[in-house]
Amino acid sequence: MAAAAGSYKRFLTLLEKWPIDKNKLGGRDLGEYLRHYINQAYKENKFEKNIKYWDQQYIALQKLVNDDHKNKYKRSLSSSATGLTAQQCNIALSDEFFEEIKKRTNQSSKSYFLCVMIKSKMLLSKKNLVIFRFLRKLCSVSKSFAENNLAHASVMPEETLKYLKPENNQTILDMTFGAGGHSRRILQVSPNIKLLALDRDPRAYGYAQQLQKEYPDKVIPLLGCFSELPSLLKAEGIRPNSVDSILFDFGCSSMQFDEAHRGFSISKKWTIRYEDGWRQTFRQLYAPTAADVLANATEEDLYKIIKYYGEEKQARKITRAIVDARYLLKKLTTTEELADLVDSVVTEDFRLDKLQRRSHVATKTFQALRIFVNNELNEINYGLILAHHYLKIGGRMVTITFHSLEDTIVKRHLSGNLLENAANPLPLKFSSHASVDGDIVKGIMELKWRSLHKHVLVPRYEEIEENPRSRSAKLRAAIKIC
């Protein structure tokens, strides 16, 4: 009993360092929650039952209260979330700028944009060019949201149509239907085609059914992932070597990031899940969620997931913090808690994306968990094999990727750098075939695709301004030659 009372007093002494935020009362403040939890545990004699467990909890809580990670890796900069200093923010949010915002509803988006740009240039000196750039981004993003009410904006639609070359009476397979932006453009150009719309997301399947009503007898919605495609196409009477064109738009749809309950977004608080769609097959039914991975994976496995799927340089540090968090009184249950934990251990003050905007330091960790839980890379690899299986000779394939892991798989399929139907982990220049018969190597490395362009295609600057999420897109197009 004395040991339990001593342990209880240690907790109370420790929590005295943790002030309660009066703006977060009612269970929202972590300090308040911990006090209530510990008092309740002491009243129920839980301290006596397992002293060792409560000692572990005390050590973990001590690290959290003393802010060990931030004390060890101190931030070097102090600025606002916009990337501007306080003084620059005051200039940017001047009365003149707000006057232009008020006029927005009475002007077209283009004239509004130009007016704000001119006014901003008049207000800002050469020393404050960073503010001008920020306002330009703000105006372009504002214009984009005002004009585009769709759940998902299609990436590189003109380039996609150019290389797919849809024609009447063709059979076209959209392997990643999403909100149907690309498919709708294809049907507008060539309405007399058969369009197979595949997606693993039930909401996207609903969009495909709506498109089917607009184009009866032209659109066939298919619900499933790439690995389920053969059975779905067989049910529709589609045979191998019979499809004219195939489109892949890899990565997450904007609507998946924008819906909090899916758990994809860092900026929206929800339960950690990272599921792409319904768990309809036996394999999907028993597949782990991101919460299961965070709670049960070994430290080494978790490190490999974050290191290789997220390409995160500080994966070891993040993994260690996640494992430590398992012993805290409050578990990692929401995306916000995971993002805050990663933010507390990453040494960088901030990271910049390709538009030089600030991105959250937990972005790569979220990406890694999403790829692992949804088995994305294996699905992409199998999807490309199926594309070759179902395309006609001379059929066209267009792929749009959003990060290097996806793009590497596509490149190695198109260049014939495969080993046992999987993308070779090494580029051709590092692969050694000295001990293998030359005819075997020639057969394996025989090109099955001919690229339709010399260099990878990326979005135009205007498109990136309109849709910043397209900034990392890479388009590759090829023809099946054997």
Q: Where are the domains of the chain?
A: 2-66, 86-147, 157-253+376-480, 288-373
Burial 320-340 (b: 16+ CB within 10 A, else e): ebbebbeebbeebebbbbbbe
Cα torsion 254, 259, 265, 267 to 10°: value is 110
Residue type, 90: N
Among 74-78, 96-100, 168-172, 248-252, top mean pLDDT goes to 168-172
Neighbouring-strand partners of residue 257 = none
Put residue 274 in one of left, alpha, beta given phi > 0 → left and psi -120 to 50 → alpha: left
Say what the pLDDT of residue 380 is.
92
- Is 401 in contact with 473 (CB distance < 8 Å)? yes
Among residues of the chain, what percentage have pLDDT more than 90?
A: 32
Binned at pLDDT 50, 70 and 90, residue 102 comes out as: low
Among 73-82, 247-256, 391-400, 402-411, top mean pLDDT goes to 391-400
Superfamily holding 157-253+376-480:
Vaccinia Virus protein VP39 (3.40.50.150)
- Is 89 in contact with 41 (CB distance < 8 Å)? no
Q: In whole angstroms, how far apart are CA 299 and each of 120, 162, 249?
A: 51, 47, 33
Which of these ranges, 212-216, 218-222, 282-286, 429-433, has the smallest mean pLDDT? 282-286
| Residue range 288-373, CATH number | 1.10.150.170
Cα torsion 423, 425, 430, 434 to 10°: value is -70
Length reported for the chain: 482
Say what the pLDDT of residue 141 is.
46
Neighbouring-strand partners of residue 479 = 396, 450
Q: Write out the two tokens for 435.
A: 């001990």
Quick check: helix, strand or coil at residue 156? coil
- C-alpha 429/C-alpha 436 separation (Å) is 16
- C-alpha 167/C-alpha 401 separation (Å) is 25
What is the model's pTM? 0.65
Binned at pLDDT 50, 70 and 90, residue 149 comes out as: very low
Say what the pLDDT of residue 424 is.
73
Q: Write out the two tokens for 108.
A: 């077209």
- Is 10 in contact with 58 (CB distance < 8 Å)? yes
Q: What is the pLDDT of residues 356-409, one digit of tens each?
A: 667 788 889 998 998 998 889 999 999 999 999 999 999 999 999 998 899 999
Comparing CA positions, the residue from 128, 119, 113 lying closest to residue 95 is 119
